[in-house]
Amino acid sequence: MVNVISVSRRTDIPAFYSDWFVKRLKESFVYVQHPFSRKWDKVSLLTNDVVAIALWSKNFAPLLTKLEEIEKVTKNLFFNFTITSNRELELNVPDSSDATKDFIYIAKRYSPAQLIWRYDPICITDKLPFEFYLENFKECIEQLKGHVKMCYVSFTTPYKKVILNLQKYKKHALLEISKEDKKQYALQLAAIAERHGIQLYACCSDYLLSEKIKKGSCINGSYLSRIFNTPINSQKSPTRKECACTKSIDIGAYNTCPHGCLYCYANADKTEATTAYENYNPEWNSLCINVNEDAIKKDEQPALFIGLK
């Protein structure tokens, strides 16, 4: 069965693991562990089994020199590019001026139709009011205008670890904002976006929906079918509440992203994520771990791993 490969919601593979990703494409497979059942799957990356690749990143720069290698598997590439210019909470993310240049490069190489600009999450704290994000949003649009058609927004989910990290590392207090206030904030962004020919979408936030703000689908099989002119599975496969994404296979792993974003839900521990990155080997057959294939065939779970766990 042909699949959309997601690279990756769980970590930033383009920024930190692009060598590993290209190696996996050359070897035509990758092992992926289900984050809840802990079962392992061997995912084919053969050209005939991959209909499209959805890429997610805050920093695509390391991947740009490898696009031709990726295109040997499929030219159907779709980019979720997060640019918020929030260095206060995104500790290791490159300067937004570099990111916007890379965004424009991708838009010109492919098409704005193959790019989502993600301005999310909007993390309102006692030190970062909405007015900060409003001005920031305007500045981003000034740099991206003419090269972007879709912008996805959301507000920070108040997970306990997010609240603790904001306080621990930056002495920020996450503010409780009503859904109605968030909707009014989002409508202000939508009005600015509309003036520049950009449609605003809400990601997993149905309370934001209005005539000006549409429901987002970060991986949308029907949309990908249209822009790539090829049949793509449009079966709904939500990753969380109010998610409208369609079926894909994510090849990433949690607790492996060293960006250090304080609002991150994908890392249980910042130090563990940094250690995983520092010790990974691009030759391994799964991200930040090497899987003993014989053990998988025998279903010997205790003997699965070689190298870093």
Residue 268 is predicted with a pLDDT of 85
pLDDT digits (tens, 9 = 90+) for 169-196: 999 999 999 999 999 999 999 999 999 9
Category of 260 on φ-ψ map: left (φ > 0), alpha (ψ -120 to 50) or beta: left
Residue 304 has pLDDT above 90, yes or no: no
Kind plus residue range of the DSSP H or E element containing 82: strand 77-82
In the structure, what pLDDT confidence band is assigned to residue 302 with cuts at 50, 70 and 90? very low
Q: Rounded distance, CA 122 to CA 137, Å?
A: 10
Task: Give the CB-side neighbour count of residue 273, counting CA atoms within 13 A.
Answer: 25
pLDDT score, position 305: 36
Q: Report the Cα 278 to chain-centroid distance in Å.
A: 21
pLDDT of residue 301: 44
Give the pTM.
0.94
pLDDT band at 294 (very low <50, low <70, confident <90, very high): confident
Locate tokens 């930033």: which residue?
A: 12
What are the two backbone dihedrals, phi and then psi, of residue 154, each rounded to the nearest 5 degrees? -160, 170
Which of 110, 131, 137, 136 has the alpha carbon at shortest distance from 55? 110
Q: What is the pLDDT of residues 95-121, one digit of tens each?
A: 899 999 999 999 999 999 999 999 999
Residue 306 has pLDDT above 70, yes or no: no
Range list of β-strands (E), 115-224: 115-122, 150-155, 199-202, 213-215
In CATH terms, the fold of domain 3-252 is TIM Barrel (3.20.20)
When computed from its CA atoms, the radius of gyration of the chain, rounded to whole angstroms, is 19
- Convert the pLDDT of each residue in 274-288 to its tens digit: 999 999 999 999 999
For the chain, the average pLDDT equals 94
